[in-house]
């Protein structure tokens, strides 16, 4: 395993059940779930609330943890223009809903937000986005998945097998 980065993302839905996606402003302009990296000594729940508001302008309510997804680049593959291997990323993906009828603030430039039906996502999404939306809308919780990523990864590849949580039970809700 290469260097490890911790991140958060959320499958944010509105009252109509649509999923909020961000079209990335660089490179292939794929669609992705909103989220970001954890700061030092920050827990995943606080990071998700902070990053999603900063990226989208929306206040959200976290419902539960869909799962933890390990994104890795196969050995020997590297991103164009980057020396050395890409870091492996562990992403805590939450199920969330919007809090309020509209964004609390304007999102910063760099991400074009749009709402999509969970069963009709755009063709070009990140591998994590397609897998996490499928898991979230199927009602799964406590999922552990390895998600291959990298230059040759196809966004519509079949879902890798999910591993149950270590104790075999789904993750508990974040709210009592």
**pLDDT for 29:** 81
Nearest to 24 by CA among 93, 110, 109, 118: 110
Residue 23 tokens read as 């079209």
- Residue 138 — pLDDT band, cuts 50, 70, 90? very high
**pLDDT for 144:** 95
Nearest to 100 by CA among 133, 53, 139, 64: 53
Cα–Cα distance for residue pair 170/158, rounded to 1 Å: 22
Q: Is 9 a residue whose pLDDT tops 90? A: yes
Q: Is 82 a residue whose pLDDT tops 60? A: no
Contact 69, 131 (CB under 8 A): yes
Strand, coil or helix: 20: strand
Q: Is 135 a residue whose pLDDT tops 90? A: yes
**pLDDT for 157:** 36
**pLDDT for 148:** 84
List, for residues 92-119, the tens digit of each pLDDT value.
Answer: 999 999 988 788 777 777 788 999 999 9
Q: What are phi and psi of 144, to 5 degrees?
A: -125, 120
List, for residues 57-69, the tens digit of each pLDDT value.
Answer: 999 999 999 999 9
Q: Is 165 a residue whose pLDDT tops 80? A: no
């Amino acid at each position: 395993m290469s260097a490890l980065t911790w991140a958060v993302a959320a499958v944010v839905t509105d009252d109509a059940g649509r999923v909020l996606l961000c079209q990335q402003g660089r490179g292939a302009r794929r669609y992705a779930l909103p989220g970001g990296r954890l700061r030092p000594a920050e827990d995943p729940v606080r990071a998700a609330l902070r990053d999603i508001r900063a990226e989208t302008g929306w206040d959200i309510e976290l419902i539960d943890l869909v799962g933890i997804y390990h994104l890795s680049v196969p050995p020997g593959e590297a991103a164009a223009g980057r020396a050395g291997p890409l870091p492996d990323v562990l992403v805590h993906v939450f199920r969330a809903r919007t809090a309020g009828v509209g964004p609390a603030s304007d999102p910063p430039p760099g991400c074009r937000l749009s709402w999509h039906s969970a069963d009709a996502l755009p063709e070009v999404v990140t591998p994590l986005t397609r897998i996490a939306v499928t898991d979230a809308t199927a009602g799964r919780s406590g999922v552990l998945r390895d998600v291959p990523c990298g230059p040759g990864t196809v966004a519509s590849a079949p879902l890798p097998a999910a591993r149950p949580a270590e104790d075999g039970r789904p993750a508990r809700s974040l709210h009592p």
